[in-house]
Chains A and B, each alone.
Chain A
Amino acid sequence: MSMACFKRLRMEIKSMSDDPDIFLESSESDIRRWKAHIRGPPGTPYEGGVFELDLTVGMQYPLVPPAVTFVTRVFHPNVHFTTGAICLDVLSRAWTPAWGLQATCRALLALLSDPAADSPLNCDAGNMIRAGDACAFESMARMYTLEHAARDMPRRAGS
């Protein structure tokens, strides 16, 4: 079963559906290293931004989740502001092998839409939301979106 992760990744590549909000691309030299770009969801302070993620798939994938971090700086209670580390249950204990890389990206889009202020890796963001100051949180998040994430989704080669 040691090759299982490669087999699974090849199957995922074949079955990836077109999603205008997610661009996933594996490294040319290593199928276990991936880059994703996800589009900030409309109606959130991340709207208009495109966020880059780094995904690394371990040999025991899909029994264990991929390691995912934000490369693009983002102001969000569950994302560490400088390291990009993400606190999300489905990337740790709640992971299930039924998920794939695309589903993982969808979970991160959901996280951008629905921050959980009670398990913050970014305390400032968490505190603003917990204090009920949505306005402050949103303006900070929007500012960083404009500053770091204002770009277009990458285009797939040949399309």
Chain B
Amino acid sequence: MSSSTTERKLVVDRRGHFLPLSPSEVGSAGKTGSWRTERPVLSPEKCTSCYLCWLYCPDDVITMEPRGPEGNEIPVIDYEYCKGCGICVDVCPVNALSMISEEEPIEIQR
């Protein structure tokens, strides 16, 4: 799936007529990560792999990947599109996620 915004893909029928269709694609409103003022950051050692953050994420930017300290599944957040709403932090039952200001330098997730 391409996230390029400059290239315009038109959907045409068999005779080459333009159809008013848009395919489902990532980034229909651009790189929405730039809307963020705070970002959710995970403490992997606290995570219990309950999936609640994934279940409630309104932007579908969380994927569960086996990258925890014991090979358990932890949420990996796509900061390119995360809008920083903080729902994942609110629903986390063990406070493994916390919001930090975007003014702090970015720590690379393992």
> A and B from one assembly?
no
